Structure 1
Amino acid sequence: MAFKLPTDCLNEIFEHLEEDKITLHSCLLVDRLWCKISVRILWRNIWRYKYTIAYQYQLKVASAILSTLIACLPNESKEILYKNKIFISTPTPNSPLFNYAGFCKVLSINEIRRIINNVLQFFDIDQKAITSKEVIKMFINQISSLKRLIYYTFYNTIPNNISFPYFPNYLVDLLELRCSSNINSEFFYYLSQICHNLQSITIEFRDFTVSNELKELISSQRNLKNLNLFIYEENDWTNIIPALIKHSNTLTKLHLYGNNDSLSLSFVSLFSNLQEFKFSFLFTNENFKELQHVIFPKLQILKIPYYCLKPEYVIKFLENNGKNLKECYFGEDSSALNLSIAEFCPNLKKLSVCFNNDELNTLITIFNNCQNLESIEIWFGKGCLSEKEVLETIVKYSPKKFCELKIYNGSPSELILEDLEIFFLNWKNRTPKISISLIIIKSHYESLEANKVLIIEEYKNLGIIKKFEIRKMDNEEEEEEDDYF
């Protein structure tokens, strides 16, 4: 008799495979029990498919997802589609093996509309709207416990406002909400009545006013930890600030995005328990002037991904807060800013930065002064340090705990086979012995030549390379907002 692992043991194993979609798909084919366990995990957040497969296959996968969802629709919804001449093929004429919608823990209204708009590209807008309504209604009726809800209104090809038939108790478990400010106020009212345990809220301001219902929803939360505010055009978040500052004691993560240099950021100083702060203002950082003197005693992660017109504000901020920072991410190529990292941030473990081609000594200074540094991300391109001289510098000067290099390159790589082999040989002779991860991320995919593949495999087998990866930079890499549709 063949030995079978208990169900709870298989569940535990499969949970660790959540990010390994290829293996989970293989598990579907083993037997009914393996299929039942793995399909639940795969359908928790089915919308992430576009980050896990090549672009040319995304429409095919989207079509498969939609046809499966159509097969799961109740007969009443299928009849509505039929009456409106909406004919969508399904994988089988029989009933589906599973209630796929019921496995969902992440509901993205935007991704449902995106899939329908792309797959049903030859249907008219009313037919797309009807299909969206029926699919969304099915999710609302079938989901048992929702963790994340995503509902933005800027996707204009299908009507934005969705009428939710009711809000069942599964929203009590909702942990994350991503939405636009101009959604029908009734939506925010019903949420505020039942949903009080949100830990993360993302708001995109798409209107000049904010409804009282949205303010009440924010105010009613008990343990808000993560806040993301996105401003577009000349919109404003001023009238929502009183609701936000009620969470000044619990908030630990804040992301501000905008292009309006008249917005006041003085309220940010009230969040004294911030551990992570991301400041993504386009073209200007005049707003940052208000924060340069503020001290955040618990701040560990700072991200400023866009170019700063006045890096002196950031330098002053580092002088006041750099000692406690563990991670810094900058899109600036300022020599003064890079030197200030070495001076004011001695306890960094991770760093992402740009170096001009005359800043090799600055890189060495950072290595000498930041002895806890384990990982560095460096942007390469015209006018920047070369990959070869960075590799040579890492071997000679990187701290003892250093174990990861990420190379971001918007132009063809200048690395030749000899450069890589010399780097790995020199790394082999370093003390202490530690494996290194080398990740190359490019603006366009570029496969590795066969001879380089052989070299990489050789040094992997010797334990010198822990991980080597070359991949195309995608939207998630550029903005780190994997579900903003």
Structure 2
Amino acid sequence: MSCQLPADCLNEIFEYLDDRKTLYSCLLVNRFVCKISIRILWRNIWNIRYTVTNKHRLRVISTILSTLIACLPNESKELLFKNGIFISTPTSKPPLFNYPTFCKVLSIKELYLIINGALEKITYTKDKNYLVINEVIKMFITQIFSLKKLSFHDGIYQNKISFTYFSGAIDCLKDLSELHCCSSLPSEFFYQLSKICHNLHSLTIFMEYYNYFPNELKELISLQNNLKILKLSAIHGCDWTVIIPALSKNSNTLTKLHLYSAYNDTLPISFIALFSNLQEIKILSDSTTFGKIQFKDFEKLQHVTFPKLQYLNISHNCTKLEYIMKFLENNGKQLKKFYINGNDHVLNLSIVKFCPNLKNLSIVIKYDELDTLRTIFNSCQYLESIKIWCGERFLGEKEVLETITKYSPKNFGELKIYNRSDSELLPEDLESFFISWKNRPSFTLIINKKYNYISLEANKENMKIIKKYINLGIIKKFETKDYKNKFFKNI
């Protein structure tokens, strides 16, 4: 007699499967297990495009689109048919599941890219593509019971999207917890959201090209009851000053604040002092400003204490280094993570002095300052991970590995290398390091490189060493990826 686990038990198990391949294989077990897997796989379909090679990209997005079209209500299908839009579906029969109801994330930009990519070889006008986009959005808005994340932050198509759908989206948007948007969206969009969404936990706002900030967006911000994460990105002269008063209601709830500026060196950041419960601060700026200090009023922040701050990420050109060091003196003791992308010997020594409890560190050290790395390891005894620039004017990969072997604290186990030149690591260098590491915690090695640099995996003998020590369990994870200068992940 067969025994079937209850649905809630299986769902709990599958939630811990961080492996899409395993979930895909579960689709073939039976209808019961298939439905649980489908719910998880369709929760966020928008990142599927990036999990495949370019060769299969078109097939993947075409499959997604045909499935969405199959799920459209009959009136939408008839509308597309009347307008001469014919998109094939996987089968003439109704879909096995109503897939859109499983979605918890809706990205208008990704939907736009999927539909335009899938219909690229079909001679439809852009207006017909937008008709498809609007009908699919309407289906999502009317059929998703509880959307968790809405992303709508690219203005190239905003005037082609109908916002009337949002007026009746109470069930869909009442539990929305994360919103990504651009300030240039029509005020009607923000007006509709402000009537429904009062419990956002995370808000990301992109301000681009012109300084337009509708009152309806400020109203939406001021109506939030428990905003915890705020990310503001201002480029091309845009300014976030106008929304600072709207944030006052969340002065005690906000725990994460990310600020990014490009081409603007007059933006204020001293308002950060309003948020005494911050646990994470990112202050980043574009490096194309040719040495200009981006945030001049950081001087006012250097004396402010954030008793709960654990994570600080700051661009070296944001302010004067003396202000950063004073800030570390006041806030460094409780820091667990600190990232800075500039090189200064005095600043590096201040990290050693003021931040003894760090677990993660990203730092730049010049080629002739290896002693600084030794001092960091000796002083930061809780350090578990470090990211270091290697090559050109910076430390060499071999000497970094040797220093880690001799001086890293007992819980250390992750090295991230940002290659600034071609890798010079030889197989014997890797072999020597991993032999010395066999009695330590499993090691993670992540290589970040610019596209024009050759990293260590280009050497086949290096990869044989890597695979050998993965099989022996000495290497926990090895990964190489192209370095991308992005402010926000998953934009």
Q: TM-score, normalised by structure 2?
A: 0.91
Matched, 1:265 2:269: yes
Structure 1 residues 81-126: Cα deviation after superposition (integer angstroms, max 9, x where no partner): 1222222222222211111111000111111112122222243211
Evaluate the alpha carbon distance shift between residue 209 and residue 480 of structure 1 in structure 2; reply closer, same or farther with a 3 A threshold: closer
SS of equivalent to 2:333:
helix
Report the Cα offset of residue 160 of structure 1.
5.4
Larger CA deviation: 329-338 vs 48-57: 48-57
Equivalent position of 2:350 in the other structure: 340
Larger CA deviation: 286-295 vs 186-195: 286-295
Check whether the contact 1:291–1:317 (CA below 8 A) recurs between aligned residues.
yes
Larger CA deviation: 157-166 vs 114-123: 157-166
Check whether the contact 1:227–1:254 (CA below 8 A) recurs between aligned residues.
yes
Check whether the contact 1:286–1:310 (CA below 8 A) recurs between aligned residues.
no
Mapping of 1:221-236 within 5 angstroms?
A: 221-236=224-239
Structure 1 residues 268-321: Cα deviation after superposition (integer angstroms, max 9, x where no partner): 111111100001122344413342232212111001256557433322221221
Kindly provide the amino acid, as one letter, of the partner of residue 15 in structure 1. Answer: E
Matched, 1:15 2:18: no
Equivalent position of 1:187 in the other structure: 189
Matched, 1:276 2:280: yes
Equivalent position of 2:399 in the other structure: 389
Percent identity of equivalent pairs: 56
Q: Which 4+ stretches in 1 moved above 6 angstroms?
A: none
Equivalent position of 1:439 in the other structure: 446
Quick one: which of 223, 226, 230 aligns to 1:220? 223
Quick one: which of 301, 325, 339 aligns to 1:329? 339
Equivalent position of 2:312 in the other structure: 302
Structure 1 residues 129-179: Cα deviation after superposition (integer angstroms, max 9, x where no partner): 111101101101110111111111333597356442522223121111111
Kindly provide the amino acid, as one letter, of the partner of residue 176 in structure 1. Answer: E
Evaluate the alpha carbon distance shift between residue 47 and residue 317 of structure 1 in structure 2; reply closer, same or farther with a 3 A threshold: same
SS of equivalent to 2:92:
coil
Equivalent position of 1:170 in the other structure: 172
Check whether the contact 2:260–2:487 (CA below 8 A) recurs between aligned residues.
no
Evaluate the alpha carbon distance shift between residue 308 and residue 361 of structure 1 in structure 2; reply closer, same or farther with a 3 A threshold: farther
Check whether the contact 1:69–1:135 (CA below 8 A) recurs between aligned residues.
yes
Structure 1 residues 351-402: Cα deviation after superposition (integer angstroms, max 9, x where no partner): 1122221121111111111111011112223221111100000000111111
Kindly provide the amino acid, as one letter, of the partner of residue 73 in structure 2. Answer: P
Name the Cα RMSD after superposition: 2.2
Check whether the contact 2:338–2:360 (CA below 8 A) recurs between aligned residues.
yes
Unpaired segments ≥5 residues, structure 2: none
Matched, 1:97 2:104: no
Check whether the contact 1:282–1:306 (CA below 8 A) recurs between aligned residues.
no
SS of equivalent to 1:324:
coil
Matched, 1:418 2:420: no
Mapping of 1:53-132 within 5 angstroms?
A: 53-121=52-120, 122-132=123-133
SS of equivalent to 1:323:
coil
Larger CA deviation: 357-366 vs 375-384: 375-384
- Cα distance in 2, alignment partners of residues 311 and 64 from structure 1: 52
- Cα distance in 1, alignment partners of residues 32 and 480 from structure 2: 35
Evaluate the alpha carbon distance shift between residue 460 and residue 103 of structure 1 in structure 2; reply closer, same or farther with a 3 A threshold: same
Unpaired segments ≥5 residues, structure 1: none
Matched, 1:318 2:318: no
Kindly provide the amino acid, as one letter, of the partner of residue 298 in structure 1. Answer: K
* Aligned residue pair count: 477
- Cα distance in 2, alignment partners of residues 79 and 319 from structure 1: 66
Q: TM-score, normalised by structure 1?
A: 0.92
- Cα distance in 2, alignment partners of residues 474 and 138 from structure 1: 37
- Cα distance in 2, alignment partners of residues 443 and 400 from structure 1: 31
Check whether the contact 2:163–2:188 (CA below 8 A) recurs between aligned residues.
no
Equivalent position of 2:488 in the other structure: 481
Check whether the contact 2:284–2:487 (CA below 8 A) recurs between aligned residues.
no
